[in-house]
């Protein structure tokens, strides 16, 4: 599972972005309740996500990030605007929800290979892949435990492993590392980047950690409080893998830039 570090130039990334996008979010709005007195969770969201691109969304609590994720996963429909997939039909997505959503009656291993079990009887290959992912997120000693026997952070890691299990067209991660300590979090972020470098799936990460967004994303979307709008898009042109860059001046400059944009949505 672990990729050998390979340096990818930012020029190659730009080339990737130039390809037709995987999907386009066009003036999407989502209002909960009635049109007049409802809560406007999202307003005029425009974004195009390239095939193989890693994008991150940062924004204050309650700004509509999870709402956008549900729209992308086709669990909810926008009240205005549209999400169109370039291929013409919605692709397969895989989600690590904000809550872990593990099956309480299944072991960690069975939970990780649930994406396979949902469709067919899992085979030996599925088991091996689930075992690999379990050790990737540091749960190799807990594959037989049930979720109730895990810590909060361990449950979250199991949930991320499950999201990584299929090879989806679009991977959606909603605050996947929120319950982890700083060091574990940095390690898992680095591991996620390595998997991504190897498999190059399209991914969207929602996070409250700006550093994490800078570590993983090609582009960071900054959102404003309700009604949720995208106020800034910051391209991250650092070389990958970025683990060695964490804490460098270049890296910190980007983090600070995004923090300023979050604090003051109107300027940039």
Partner 1 sequence: MANSQRYLIQATAVIGFFLIWKFYVEFFEVSRLVLPPPEQVFVALFELFATGEIWRHLYITLLECLGGFAFACIFGVTAGMLLGRNQMLDTVFKPFVIALQVTPKVALIPLFILWFGFGLESKIIVSAVLAFFPVFANTYLGARSVDHGLLELFEVGKASRSRRFAKLILPSSLPYILTGMEMAIVLSIIGAVVAEFVAGSSGLGYLATIKLQELQVSSLFAVVIVLALIGFVLYFLVGSLRKVLIPWHESSRPTTI
Ligand X SMILES: Nc1ncnc2c1ncn2[C@@H]1O[C@H](COP(=O)(O)OP(=O)(O)OP(=O)(O)O)[C@@H](O)[C@H]1O
| Contact residues: partner 1, CB under 8 A | 73-75, 92-95, 97, 99, 101, 103-105, 114-115, 117-120, 146, 148, 166
Question: Which of Mg ion, ligand X, partner 1, none has residue 74 at its interface (CB below 5 to 8 Å by kind)?
Answer: partner 1
Write down the least CB distance from residue 62 to Mg ion, Å.
8
Residue 32 or 105 having the CB closest to ligand X: 32
Cis peptide leading into 206, omega within 30 of 0?
A: no
Rounded distance between C-alpha atoms, residue 167 and residue 209, angstroms:
25
User: Does residue 45 contact residue 224 with C-beta atoms inside 8 Å?
Assistant: no
Question: Which of ligand X, partner 1, Mg ion, none has residue 260 at its interface (CB below 5 to 8 Å by kind)?
Answer: none
Total Cβ atoms within 10 A of residue 134? 23
What string marks each residue from 219 to 248 as x (binds ligand X by CB under 6 A) or -? -------x----------------------
Residue 101 or 226 having the CB closest to partner 1: 101
Rounded distance between C-alpha atoms, residue 268 and residue 266, angstroms:
7
Establish if 66 lies at the interface with Mg ion (CB under 5 A).
yes
Write down the least CB distance from residue 261 to Mg ion, Å.
20
Burial of 233 (0-12, 13-18, 19+ CB in 10 A): middle
Write down the least CB distance from residue 110 to partner 1, Å.
9
Token pair in block for residue 20:
């037709």
Among 25, 49, 63, 163, the residue binding ligand X under the rule CB under 6 A is 63
Question: Which of Mg ion, partner 1, ligand X, none has residue 119 at its interface (CB below 5 to 8 Å by kind)?
Answer: partner 1
Beta strands 170-174; 93-96: pairing state: parallel
Rounded distance between C-alpha atoms, residue 165 and residue 102, angstroms:
14
Establish if 77 lies at the interface with ligand X (CB under 6 A).
no
Burial of 11 (0-12, 13-18, 19+ CB in 10 A): exposed
CA angle 159, 160, 166 (to 5 degrees): 100
**Residues numbered 91-150 forming contacts with ligand X, rule: CB under 6 A:** 98
Question: Which residues are at the interface with Mg ion (CB under 5 A)?
Answer: 66, 98
Question: Which residues are at the interface with ligand X (CB under 6 A)?
Answer: 32, 39, 41, 61-67, 98, 226
């Amino acid at each position: 599972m672990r990729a050998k570090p390979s340096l990818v130039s930012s020029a190659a990334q730009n080339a990737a972005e130039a390809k037709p996008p995987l999907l386009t979010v066009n003036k999407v709005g989502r209002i909960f309740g009635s049109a007049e007195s409802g809560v406007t969770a999202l307003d005029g969201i425009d974004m195009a996500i390239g095939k193989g691109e890693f994008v991150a969304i940062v924004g204050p609590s309650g700004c509509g990030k999870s709402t956008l994720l549900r729209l992308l996963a086709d669990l909810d429909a926008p009240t205005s605007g549209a999400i169109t997939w370039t291929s013409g039909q919605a692709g397969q997505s895989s989600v690590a929800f904000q809550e872990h959503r593990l099956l309480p009656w299944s072991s960690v291993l069975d939970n990780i290979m649930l994406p396979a079990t949902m469709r067919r009887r899992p085979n030996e290959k599925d088991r091996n892949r689930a075992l690999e992912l379990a050790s990737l997120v540091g749960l190799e000693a807990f594959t037989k435990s049930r979720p109730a026997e895990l810590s909060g952070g361990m449950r979250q890691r199991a949930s991320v492993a499950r999201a990584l299990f299929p090879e989806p067209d679009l991977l959606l991660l909603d605050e996947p590392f929120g319950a982890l300590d700083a060091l574990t979090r940095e390690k898992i972020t680095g591991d996620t980047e390595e998997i991504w470098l190897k498999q190059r799936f399209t991914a969207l990460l929602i996070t409250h950690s700006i550093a994490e967004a800078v570590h993983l994303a090609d582009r960071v979307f900054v959102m404003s409080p309700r009604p949720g709008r995208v106020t800034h898009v910051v391209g991250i042109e650092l070389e990958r893998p970025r683990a060695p860059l964490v804490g460098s001046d270049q890296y910190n400059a980007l983090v600070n830039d995004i923090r300023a944009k979050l604090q003051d949505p109107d300027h940039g």
